[in-house]
Amino acid sequence: MNDTPQTAKYHTGLVQIFTGDGRGKTSAALGTVMRASGYGLKAYIVFFLKGLHEGGEYNSLKRLPGIDYAIFGRSDFMGPQYTTQADLDYARQALAEAKKVILSGEYDVVMLDEINTASAWKLINVEDVVELVKSKPEKVELILTGRHADTRLVVLADQVTELVNRKHPFEKGVDARQGIDY
């Protein structure tokens, strides 16, 4: 078996959105990034709102070839009612990084994790996100995640997947489990 990945060939990058109140938006998008890595494509992830923390996602990403990422935010950020100037600054920095990376021509796949939530919570202007999507070079695959995807972004996207919560262990008092939920 050949361990060298073949470089995937495609000509048009699309816009994907993973949204909804169900669990798994980031995980689904990371699955696409992982698949891209397996075919020799270069990927970049901009994490909005997450902050640096010990997490399985970051530990795994460090081991996969061709994947770069940047983390912006506080690990203890809980919602729009707790927004500080630092949170606004982190979100603006993340948006600037996203724009730089998308337009660089260096990456095949760019994932903007929690950008929908950042715009819904008014940490960044959704019009700036719309312009970013519209400015995407043709060959870049762009993935947006987070709850509350704005209708304008949904209209621009080529694929929209809405994850719906039907049942969740938290409802039975089960805490988040290391290695499974984070």
- How would you write the pLDDT of the chain (182 residues) with one tens digit per residue? 455 556 666 678 999 999 999 999 999 999 999 999 999 999 999 999 987 666 678 888 888 999 999 999 998 888 899 999 999 999 999 999 999 999 999 999 999 999 999 999 999 999 999 999 999 999 999 999 999 999 999 999 999 999 999 998 888 888 887 777 77
Q: At what angle do helices 85-104 and 126-134 cross, to 10 degrees?
A: 10
Dihedral Cα 119, 120, 122, 125, nearest 10 deg? 40
Asked whether residue 3 is assigned to any structural domain, the reply reads no
Q: 40: domain CATH number? A: 3.40.50.300
SS3 78: coil
Asked whether residue 108 is assigned to any structural domain, the reply reads yes
Q: How many domains does the chain have?
A: 1
Q: In what order do the strands lie in the sheet with 15-19?
A: 67-72, 43-48, 109-113, 141-145, 15-19, 159-162
CA distance 98 to 112: 7
33 lies in which domain range? 15-164
Task: Map tokens 């209708």 to a residue.
Answer: 151
Give this prediction's pTM: 0.91
